[in-house]
Structure 1
């Protein structure tokens, strides 16, 4: 603390520049002036935060920037030190209005190179997914209240006075339409127990947009990221595109194995999890694991991305508290989407961010995509505020429960010789286990040739074996559609038994 007292680290709360950027520049000045000497150990981020009366996240962001610039060096288990070899040139002093996304967005020019990682998206992200049996994670769009939506849209247009027209037809707010952010804050508080305000909400073009921008902002090349295995391909792609290193962490019946993550990558900068319903296997992250994950993140100074993609559709029991609701150190970023609650073509998602990250994300959002269409945001806000979202979700929850039961019964009656399936408590799809000798990838390929869409878990697995598992969606399909799909699957299995279609992969 004596060192802190001797430094001239004045923070101006009235300035427009974010606090973490101010602290960054003050520390650069102290280092280049020799007040902080090469090899000198710095006090902890907690001590810094206490002296300056700022959040610890503010200090963490400043330290991370200094480390990425080469001014500081972290030593695992020891602390953070002034680098022995400082950058040759001091960065230009910023103007009063700082755009944190200039650095945070991750050198956007890099993505222009033809061999850049961002040009190699996995096929599961690139293809247009069709609502055919048994497409997973697809809502019943035919049941969406289109007439009600159209009526709200017509009313919105009729009410466009000059002031409203300027707000909805002119330039939009990169953070998102404020009435929608207020409605989302109320929604997640009631449904998931989150404590936040509209200030913490940023609107994105879907959850993957938020995931990708988070990787650009929070990661620097070479840093490691915990990714569930098997797990969401979008996080693997975005982490790689940001120059980071995805580390596949296995999951078991309690979700991501935190102990294994700590063994494989204790110094990871980021962890991506889907705790309410692990994608794609469907288990819920246990309460013990939730606390262990948060404890590790706090100790490691890591961030946690919580993807809560379809928890609204829960059929049995009460959900566990969201990670964000358990977080006491501001380490969790909570992501949600309207693609499942409403319809995928809307392309609207949101993030609930710690206070220390809001400015960086809003600035980065202004660079990457500017803002989401304002009229659609205004429509969703009105849909929510008038109670239509809650009504629609309740209707779909009942419908999806019936459709899941019908699919499970159909598998038991017609396909039990080749696969078994268990019900899911949450979501829009079930996991089926194939009999010995059958390959999920081969079954999926044969099904695609017959007009079906089945997701083999093996395409989402990295270091685990999962070719005996497939995903079958039920939410978007009528009983007649599921009957037809089950008949086609039965024919495929019979053909495989006869040797007319390959049963297993070559290796």
Structure 2
């Protein structure tokens, strides 16, 4: 940049809810749109901007990565980084963002990024994209006019058949294809359940701590949520019976409790099923990553113990394939099939037939089962590498829980510092984490970080990232 050219990154606002990398991105994009920076102009190097702003280099590189991905800038090696030649940008209309209640950037539970330690992402680098592309091409070439009409709202019949067969073999669930409803994700699954079985004012048990979007969705639908504490055996069923014995439903994650990853013990599984049968209540089993257990075989599903038709089993392809696929499924009791067919006709638009066809072929030809086996082995290795690397760097500051299953680690802070503030600092540095405090409904929990390990491939990388966290402590 010439000495006369104005700085495209004026002073950042440390009190803003926007992370620093986003502020840098917005300022440079604004300078390009307003003509302050013209096509071909050089912008400051990451090293220079790092020194000028006093930020970590990763923060600058995250902002520059977004600008490059959207075509605003180009790296020219030793010649530096320049505004893309010939660019004719149009500044999008900026929509106002609601202020964060805590003054810290709110966590997103459906982020569109791929950041180190990001939760909820499978190993995208290990997905068999060539096989997927081949199957996709074949499905496109064989498409008939009937495949181009509205998709079936209950799900493609061939896929429902494959899901029912898979659940019988892998999770011990005996169900017919008619009981399987294909949805566009967990939220859609919960919407169908709520519309079909619950009404405004009903009380529902939720694990505490537990997955925040569940309580948010039920709250918007005016369902009263009842926090039930979780200990080493999972949801404390006796507590739920004590505080809300007539609740209409309970939402549980029995295989790997979200986020603590403990398993619901057999006595508590039986107690939960007995409570539901006595009170004609419903149990929603969210089996979001039950396939991934590393010290023994995957645990049988709670649904496999259901003899009274009170359990609704929710599964997803997001964790075993990839989130962008937007496919999940719900198994309902036989007695409720007709009711869910009616609700699906009203509220479901149907997932794309082409996508369902590719998934069906992926399962039918054996790729799905092989992929899960490979990922189970790979995640066990990455879990061990992440635990060892973080322990080596952060062991004096945190206790690292490596649960027997799941896709994330729990890092418990030794000092009583705010996990929310540390998460905000990590986001500004281009790292992902979630705060245990954001997963509670009022329970007094020790501060902790939730870190995904599935997309980090070796211990050296983990240690390097751990040192970035150490600098933020």
- Please name the residue that 1:292 is paired with: 271
Alpha-carbon distance in 1 for matches of 2:191, 2:465: 35
Q: How many residues align?
A: 368
2:304 corresponds to 1:362: no
2:120 corresponds to 1:140: no
SS across alignment from 2:319: helix
RMSD, aligned CA? 1.6
TM-score if structure 1 supplies the norm length? 0.70
| CA-to-aligned-CA distance 1:199-231 (integer Å, 9 cap, x gap) | 110000012210122122211111100000010
Asked if the contact 1:216–1:242 (Cα under 8 Å) also holds between the matched residues in 2, the reply is: no
TM-score if structure 2 supplies the norm length? 0.75
2:470 corresponds to 1:490: yes
2:231 to 252, 260, 271: 252
Asked if the contact 1:219–1:242 (Cα under 8 Å) also holds between the matched residues in 2, the reply is: no
SS across alignment from 2:192: helix
SS across alignment from 2:215: helix
- Please name the residue that 2:69 is paired with: none
**Structure 1 regions of 5+ residues with no counterpart?**
1-121, 494-507
Asked if the contact 2:253–2:287 (Cα under 8 Å) also holds between the matched residues in 1, the reply is: yes
1:410 to 378, 386, 389: 389
Asked if the contact 2:408–2:453 (Cα under 8 Å) also holds between the matched residues in 1, the reply is: yes
SS across alignment from 2:297: coil
2:309 corresponds to 1:326: no
| CA-to-aligned-CA distance 1:245-299 (integer Å, 9 cap, x gap) | 0001100000000000001110000100000000011100000000000000000
- Please name the residue that 2:132 is paired with: 149
Task: For residue 243 of structure 1, report the CA deviation from its aligned partner.
Answer: 1.6
2:141 corresponds to 1:158: yes
**Structure 2 regions of 5+ residues with no counterpart?**
1-104
- Please name the residue that 1:230 is paired with: 209
Q: Cα–Cα, structure 1 residues 225 and 125, in superposed 2: closer, same or farther, change >3 Å?
A: farther
2:251 corresponds to 1:272: yes
Alpha-carbon distance in 1 for matches of 2:353, 2:461: 36
2:436 corresponds to 1:457: yes
Asked if the contact 1:134–1:485 (Cα under 8 Å) also holds between the matched residues in 2, the reply is: no
- Please name the residue that 1:41 is paired with: none
2:371 corresponds to 1:392: yes
2:426 corresponds to 1:447: yes
Task: For residue 422 of structure 1, report the CA deviation from its aligned partner.
Answer: 2.3
| CA-to-aligned-CA distance 1:81-138 (integer Å, 9 cap, x gap) | xxxxxxxxxxxxxxxxxxxxxxxxxxxxxxxxxxxxxxxxx95456524221111221
Range that drifts further, 330-339 or 469-478: 469-478
2:220 corresponds to 1:241: yes
Alpha-carbon distance in 2 for matches of 1:319, 1:395: 14
2:284 to 305, 313, 325: 305
Task: For residue 318 of structure 1, report the CA deviation from its aligned partner.
Answer: 2.6
Q: Cα–Cα, structure 1 residues 123 and 176, in superposed 2: closer, same or farther, change >3 Å?
A: farther
